Amino acid sequence: MTKVLSYLKYAAGYAILSLVFLIVQAFTELLLPSMMATLVDDGIIALNGQNEQMTFILTEGAKMLAMALVCVAAAIGVSYFSTKTSSIISRRMRHDVFERVLKFSNNEMDEFSTASLITRTTNDIQQVQGILSGGIRMVFFAPTMAVGSIVLALSKSKGMSWILLVAVAILLSIIAVGLIAAMPKIKALQKLIDKLNLVSRENLSGLMVIRAFGNEKHEEERFEKSNKDLRMTNRFVQRTIAIVMPAMTIIMNFSTIAIVWFGAGAIKDGTLEIGDMMAYIQYAMHVIMSFLFIAMIFVSIPRAMVSVNRLAEVLKAEPSINNSAKPQTLTDVKGIIKFENVSFKYSNADDCVLSNISFTALPGQTTAFIGSTGSGKSTLINLIPRFYDITEGSITYDGIDIRELSMHSLRENIGYVPQKGLLFSGTVKSNMLISNPEADDELIKSALETAQAKFVYDMPEGLDSDISQGGTNVSGGQRQRLSIARALVKQAPVYIFDDSFSALDLKTDAALRKALKAYTSDATVLIVAQRVSTIMNAEQIIVLDEGRIVGKGTHKELLKTCEEYREIAESQLAKEELE
Amino acid sequence: MNKNKKKFPSPHGKATGKVPGRPHEKPKDFKGTVKKILRLIAPFKLRFIAVVIFAAGGSLFNVIGPRILANATNEVAAGVRRMIDSTGTINLVKVGQILTILVAVYAVSAAFSYLQSFIMAGVTTRLSFNLRNDIMKKINRIPLSFFHKQSQGDVLSRITNDVDTLEQALTQSITQAATSVTSLIGILAMMLLTSPLLTLIIVLTVPVSLIVVRNIVKLSQPHFRKQQKFLGAVNGHIEEMYGAHLVVKAFNGEERSLEEFDELNDELAENARKAEFLSGLMMPLMGFVGNLGYVMVCVVGAILASKGQLDIGGIQAMLQYVRNFNQPINQLANISAQLQRMAAAAERVFEFLEEPEEDDSKATRKLSDVEIHGDITFDHVKFGYEDTDKIVISDFSAKVKSGQKIAIVGPTGAGKTTMVKLLMRFHELTDGAIYVDGYNLTDFDRHDLRSEFGMVLQDTWLYCGSIMDNIRYGKLDATDEEVIKAAKLAQVDHFVRTLPDGYQMELNEEVTNISQGQKQLLTIARAILADPKILILDEATSSVDTRTEILIQRAMDNLMKGRTSFIIAHRLSTIRNADLILCMNNGDIVEQGSHDELMALDGFYANLYNSQFEKVSE
């Protein structure tokens, strides 16, 4: 909350201005009934039949009209400055959240989950903006009106204050009782809707299975049960909420009646004038309405706070991977990557994903990683660009611990190909320039050719062909090849391929490997693969099982020495390949 | 080249982020839909009439109130004059009598409006309950091909959003129509009774200025559209950058991405501000219209009173009426939009409910009358999906003896599941026939027929419930012992027993608390329990680790014993051991025969085989 309130400082001037206008608006609005009372008591009753009556009525009328105009002008001012405030704050907040998330390491991304961060940056900020622009008005206007109308009502008559007190007390207790009765059910309602959605979703995704087993009836019964729960709860909630409106009207009407009855007595005693009684009725209405709004604000604050808190969580989260105090820069890069006794576990896990990993990857060589799902091979190479920081041991790049390097310099010297071929909306060319803004068409062409992505030149617009968000307008294999080309454009001393070949068919895979060997002849290449055929020519193959190295060597050596490797190879290769 | 300028380009203009659109929805056939809605609510006719009567009655009594109060005020005023003239004082008894009547009037009014809401809540929740059940029943009867053109999300939103909208709009439009018409007529009548001249002035000023205000607010529309556009662009950029967070970081793209974001964010903030400000004018301007009426009544009322043409109670009543005059006018103006919204939602619901269903009326044979062994004959099968003209299977014939294994192979996207869908009659053949033990599949009732088939797909389907219930899904009346026996055969018993609650462990919503391979074992157990004559299996691919893969293989072997099995195959051994291999490409069966026959053909299969299980030495 304080985190979000601190944003007010960016728009303090506008916020104060909107408050000033708001007070003017409330004040003028409230003066109208008083002027009406003067008109009735003096204009109609006291001056009855006298000459100046007409002039008096018209002057008073003109004053009232002027008051109404000031009121509307002030209200427009409020609207202007409060929207200004909310737009400044939400713009700033959106910027801050986005910037913060960009700084996050994979740890924080995993913790929050990408989907949740997206909703926080989009929906939640949208919510907060809505609350701010409407809320400033509501939160300040209702109390101002309440105070103002109570003061003015008291100035007309003190004897009837108890009516206001009783009315407000009844109002608040009705709301409280209603909330206590309905709240648990309202909360249950959301759960029931979720449940209904879940059952429907399961039915839609299981269409074939349900029909295959002939369980349609069973599913219908399951749905009907959730549906009935929803119906009953919904009916109860609606019927409870329906009490509020008639109750409100009755409180207002009965207060009016009480004011006329006790007012008449006071007038009879000569302590009250009739116009003042009429004004009193109107102030009473303002008091009741204001308290209704105040109650509504209190009810809606917890809901608004949900979004606010979700944003505060993001803003408070510190990226767990940062530059060291004096980060070093890589110069005269060779590209030697060395793991020494590296262990790693995810921040919230008990067990290590990787333990005691040691190896050296040399320039001009390919180091490959293979192992079954969950063996930690992807995790391992994601440690090199510092997407995660290791728990124990050290990783060095040209002899310097990567945690001592600036992240910018480290990543500048790595060509990374992710598991999923993630492309950005734009064109083929704009996607290539991401890794190397200086690349010319010649370089791009040679990268595309190496990555077996010549299909680009068959597209009508060639390099300028559109790529839609996520690259959904090209096939999975094409996406993967473009993402490989993107890394190649960088001409980095170290290349990392995180399982980047599995979407390719074997022929393309083979051609790509051949071309790659030539293109990256001096570079250090690290490859994670599923298929033995992808990596069998690597200079060094590292076999992982449950986070440990169980074999290191060439294909031929491993077939003889490593049982895990042979198991994988047997399931994939024809007999004659295993010798 | 301009297109390439942005380094982290965002979807300018072509907003991809989901934008909550303002409701501009219009139904295609308003009249027809309204007729259907009327038919839908016909069974609740009496209750709807009661709702209308109570709504109208409630507002009528509410409208009379100020007029009666005026009498009380006048009585007080008369007393005041008597006090001034020293001829008497206020007649409190009379005031009391009038106020007592008023208490009764307001009490009745409140009771009526509550009764109205009470009945309405019962009817509308009942209506949406029925509609939802109907939609769910429909889902189970609609041909599978429907879901090729309609996304799941779309159907889901009919069950929840559309039915909700219908419920709300129905409640509001009926109640509001009844109350606002009664209030408007009532208020006009009461005002005319009180002061025709003042009424005329109010009728001339208030509605006219309301129209002006509504038009001013329309000015905000283009800004709203722009706001939505930039919101879409900003959200699109956010989604894209968060989704590719890893790549952005890997290529040091944070700064460029932030610059891009700021540009869009500034545009969004500015347009949002304008849109909100302009639409925010509505409230103050409406307030002004109200105050204008208020001042008019005060001034003109005072003048009339000074001439003796209006009493003080009359002024007071007019002040109350003028305050309540805006609301019914606004509500009436909104009702048509309300109805449009309701009809649009209802139309989508009806559209779905009117989709044609799987037709089983032509079934001539009961499965219980014949004994099924599992011989299957494909006789010149020709097939194309219902919604296209393209024929995917042109002419396929084959004979399968009971207990045989048939491997279906082909590259990804070759339509290997098509055969499955045809056997299960999820789709209808275009020509030719499939016979099981000599009986044409179309002779049977679908529901009946499917009970003879077991299906284990790679895309495992489990639901949120206990493991026991999920296995039992294969045979709903199976005992616990039967379930456990099936689990043992499926090699999953041991694994289940290591789980926190064993067979009673609840699977969570996305079924993420067990692994993909374990899910597959559970669905195999389910198929074993169902004990079908004919099996359709989908072999696991690389998403499962080696150990689980061996378990799955063993479980599948158990399952296939003595049953005719169609296997969508990936494993070398399965393919080699199959009695018949169906090789598919682009939906069609391009070759069929045993492994050796097909290799000898040296055609598509041989090529595929060599590329999948390539001799890697180049």
Count CA atoms closer than 13 A to B46's CA, side-chain side.
0
Weakest mean pLDDT among A346-350, B72-76, B335-339:
A346-350
Run of H or E including A551: strand A548-553
Question: With contact defined as beta carbons under 8 Å apart, do A319 and A105 qualify?
Answer: yes
State pLDDT tens for residues A307-321: 888 888 898 888 888
Measured distance CA(B534)–CA(B376) in Å, rounded: 9
Considering only CB atoms, B450 lies closest to which of A214, A218, A505, namely A214
Structure-token match 């993420």, residue found = B512
State pLDDT tens for residues B417-474: 777 788 888 888 888 899 988 888 888 888 888 888 888 877 778 888 899 999 998 8
Chain B contact set for A200 (CB, 8 A): 136, 139, 155-156, 159-160
Measured between CA atoms, the residue of chain A closest to residue B475 is: A213
Chain B contact set for A230 (CB, 8 A): 129
**Domain-embedded: residue B127:** yes
Whether ipTM exceeds 0.95: no
- Exposure pattern of A506-522 as b/e (b: 16+ CB <10 Å)? bebbbebbebbeebbee
- In the stretch 229-258 of chain B, residues with CB closer than 8 A to chain A read 231, 234-236, 238-254, 257-258
Cβ within 8 Å of residue A122, ≥6 positions away: B17, B234, B235, B238, B239
State pLDDT tens for residues A125-146: 888 887 787 777 778 888 999 9
B508 to chain A, minimum CA–CA distance in Å? 11
Run of H or E including A541: strand A540-545
Please give the pLDDT value at position B3.
Answer: 43
Measured distance CA(B451)–CA(B490) in Å, rounded: 20
Question: With contact defined as beta carbons under 8 Å apart, do B569 and B535 qualify?
Answer: no
Q: Does B288 touch chain A (CB under 8 A)?
A: yes
Measured distance CA(B509)–CA(B523) in Å, rounded: 17
Among A240, A119, A92, A431, smallest CA distance to B269 is for A92
- In the stretch 149-188 of chain B, residues with CB closer than 8 A to chain A read 152, 155-156, 159-160
pLDDT at A115 over 60: yes
- In the stretch 110-129 of chain A, residues with CB closer than 8 A to chain B read 114, 117-118, 121-122, 126, 129
Percent pLDDT > 70 in chain A is 97
Please give the pLDDT value at position B617.
Answer: 38
pLDDT at B277 over 90: no
Measured distance CA(B149)–CA(B50) in Å, rounded: 43
Measured distance CA(B126)–CA(B246) in Å, rounded: 50
Please give the pLDDT value at position B618.
Answer: 34
Run of H or E including A276: helix A274-316
**Domain-embedded: residue B210:** yes
A293 to chain B, minimum CA–CA distance in Å? 15
- What sections of A114-160 are H helices per DSSP? 114-119, 125-156
State pLDDT tens for residues B38-91: 998 899 999 999 999 999 999 999 999 999 999 999 999 889 888 888 888 888
Q: Does B573 touch chain A (CB under 8 A)?
A: no
- Exposure pattern of A139-167 as b/e (b: 16+ CB <10 Å)? bbbbbbbbebbbebbeebbeebeebbeeb
Q: Does A356 touch chain B (CB under 8 A)?
A: no
- Exposure pattern of B257-273 as b/e (b: 16+ CB <10 Å)? bbebbebbbebbbbbbb
Among A536, A395, A105, A125, smallest CA distance to B614 is for A536
Q: Which tokens is A248 given? A: 């409100």
Amino acid occupying residue A401: D
Q: What is the mean pLDDT of chain A?
A: 87
pLDDT at A333 over 80: yes
Neighbouring CB atoms inside 10 A of B11's CB total 21
Burial of A360: CB neighbours in 10 Å, binned 0-12, 13-18, 19+: middle
**pLDDT tier for residue A495 given thresholds of 50, 70 and 90:** very high
Chain A contact set for B423 (CB, 8 A): none
The average pLDDT across A356-361 equals 93
- In the stretch 9-38 of chain A, residues with CB closer than 8 A to chain B read 25, 29, 32, 35-36
CA distances from B257 to A104, A123, A434, B592 (A): 14, 20, 11, 54
Please give the pLDDT value at position B169.
Answer: 87
Run of H or E including A572: helix A563-572
Question: With contact defined as beta carbons under 8 Å apart, do A249 and B109 qualify?
Answer: yes
Considering only CB atoms, B424 lies closest to which of A68, A212, A277, namely A212
Interface test with chain B among A112, A193, A211, A283, by most B beta carbons within 10 Å = A211
Please give the pLDDT value at position A212.
Answer: 82
State pLDDT tens for residues A433-449: 888 888 899 999 999 99
**Domain-embedded: residue B362:** no
pLDDT at B7 over 50: no
Q: Does B450 touch chain A (CB under 8 A)?
A: yes
Burial of A551: CB neighbours in 10 Å, binned 0-12, 13-18, 19+: buried
pLDDT at B118 over 90: yes
A388 to chain B, minimum CA–CA distance in Å? 11
pLDDT at B103 over 70: yes
Please give the pLDDT value at position B540.
Answer: 59
pLDDT at B18 over 50: no
Measured between CA atoms, the residue of chain B closest to residue A255 is: B103
Q: Does A227 touch chain B (CB under 8 A)?
A: yes
Burial of A560: CB neighbours in 10 Å, binned 0-12, 13-18, 19+: exposed
Structure-token match 């097909």, residue found = B598
The average pLDDT across B165-170 equals 87
**Domain-embedded: residue B164:** yes
Please give the pLDDT value at position B62.
Answer: 92
Q: Which tokens is B12 given? A: 């300018």
Helix axes B326-353, B30-41, angle to 10 degrees: 90
Q: Does A510 touch chain B (CB under 8 A)?
A: yes
Question: With contact defined as beta carbons under 8 Å apart, do B500 and B513 qualify?
Answer: no
Q: What angle do CA B145, B146, B152 make, to 5 degrees?
A: 115
DSSP state of B475: S
Measured distance CA(A160)–CA(A175) in Å, rounded: 24
Residue scoring higher pLDDT (B191 or A52): B191
**Domain-embedded: residue B110:** yes
Q: Does A234 touch chain B (CB under 8 A)?
A: yes
Considering only CB atoms, B509 lies closest to which of A79, A198, A430, namely A198
Chain B contact set for A221 (CB, 8 A): none
Domains held by chain B: number: 1
State pLDDT tens for residues A140-176: 888 999 999 999 999 888 888 899 999 999 999 988 8
Considering only CB atoms, A79 lies closest to which of B96, B234, B281, namely B281
Cβ within 8 Å of residue A15, ≥6 positions away: A8, A81, A82, A85, A136
Strand bridging mode B534-538 / B564-568? parallel
CATH number of A337-578: 3.40.50.300
Interface test with chain A among B316, B355, B618, by most A beta carbons within 10 Å = B316
Q: What CATH number corresponds to the domain at position B167?
A: 1.20.1560.10
The average pLDDT across A252-278 equals 90
| A1-156 classified as CATH 1.10.600.10 | no
Q: Does A180 touch chain B (CB under 8 A)?
A: no
Please give the pLDDT value at position B17.
Answer: 34
State pLDDT tens for residues B244-273: 888 888 888 888 889 999 999 999 999 888
Please give the pLDDT value at position B616.
Answer: 40
The average pLDDT across A572-577 equals 58
Chain B contact set for A68 (CB, 8 A): 288, 291-292, 294-295
Measured distance CA(B168)–CA(B162) in Å, rounded: 10
DSSP state of A306: H
The average pLDDT across A195-204 equals 87
Q: Do A418 and B250 touch (CB under 8 A)?
A: yes
Percent pLDDT > 90 in chain A is 35
Q: Does B439 touch chain A (CB under 8 A)?
A: no
Considering only CB atoms, B546 lies closest to which of A234, A372, A532, namely A372
Give me the domain span that covers residue B140.
Answer: 2-8+29-220+281-353
Neighbouring CB atoms inside 10 A of B554's CB total 15
pLDDT at B9 over 80: no
Phi, psi of A501 (to 5 degrees): -105, -5
Measured distance CA(A279)–CA(A36) in Å, rounded: 7
Please give the pLDDT value at position B544.
Answer: 60
Measured distance CA(B391)–CA(A125) in Å, rounded: 51
Domain ranges of chain A: 1-156, 337-578
Q: Does B216 touch chain A (CB under 8 A)?
A: no
Q: What is the mean pLDDT of chain B?
A: 83
**Domain-embedded: residue B259:** no
Measured distance CA(B248)–CA(A101) in Å, rounded: 12
Please give the pLDDT value at position A549.
Answer: 92
**Domain-embedded: residue B520:** no
The average pLDDT across B327-347 equals 85
Structure-token match 């608040």, residue found = A172
Please give the pLDDT value at position A405.
Answer: 92
**pLDDT tier for residue B11 given thresholds of 50, 70 and 90:** very low
Phi, psi of B305 (to 5 degrees): -65, -40
Chain A contact set for B102 (CB, 8 A): 253, 257
Q: Does B207 touch chain A (CB under 8 A)?
A: no
Q: Quick one: CA dihedral A143, A145, A150, A151, positive or negative? A: positive
Considering only CB atoms, B295 lies closest to which of A61, A80, A242, namely A61
**Domain-embedded: residue B391:** no
